[in-house]
A = this chain, B = another copy of it.
């Protein structure tokens, strides 16, 4: 378009929103650009952060406060998912279950803690991730393959169930459990992607309980970025336990191998 970039210059410490919204559709024009009808995702529709160079609209660049640790700058995209999900409804003084403790689930524990969730249940079958969940200060870290999650949650919530379920697994069992343990009138916020249809008992799971289910996509542009920045610069979030290794750029291949190992 020939217009000049003025808000950012070479050498700035920045991160970027990887969803590029069209700016013209109904969603973009009503403050919902994160669900733009014509969105392009850098890394999906164009070369992403593993490429040598990335082309990004000026408006998608987020200048970072120097107070934010450099290593955090590389994880703001998934952290934003967590912030968006946690803050999609009331959370202060609420009981919360995080189903699935991959990186975004783990971040969600930290965020929920920082914004006043009262009791946090972390559900995860992978032992390493359960350990990290403890380091993120979840109150109860449960293994759904062994623990009687439903019983434990009910006992610890006065028989009520949790106010909020943050679904980060995308696995049918985790989703099933989430609907089981949410209290009547609670909310289930869904971020974890599923690969196939999952049967839901609408009457028992949703209607009689009068719950609210939210589909969570990306991060609000740019409300979530402001919230994330505020939480980070005020020192409320300690994300270090999630960052297991720090390698120089040249050891890229080693990093990817380790990543694949852990995932397994």
Contacts and interface: CB of A to CB of B under 8 A. Distances in A.
A208 B201 contact: no
Contacts of A115: 92-93, 115-116
A231 B118 contact: yes
A114 B31 CA distance: 25
Nearest to A92: B115
B191 A118 contact: no
Interface stretch (A71-79, A123-131, A219-227, A241-249): A219-227
The contact size tier of chain A is 35 or more
Contacts of A205: 215
A206 B34 CA distance: 14
Nearest to A202: B194
Contacts of A37: 160, 184
Contacts of A230: 93-95, 118-119
Given A95-B230, A209-B35, A200 B203 contact: no
B118 A116 contact: no
A214 interface: yes
Interface string A229-259: 0110110100000000000000000000000
B116 A35 contact: no
A92 to B, nearest CB: 4
A34 B30 CA distance: 12
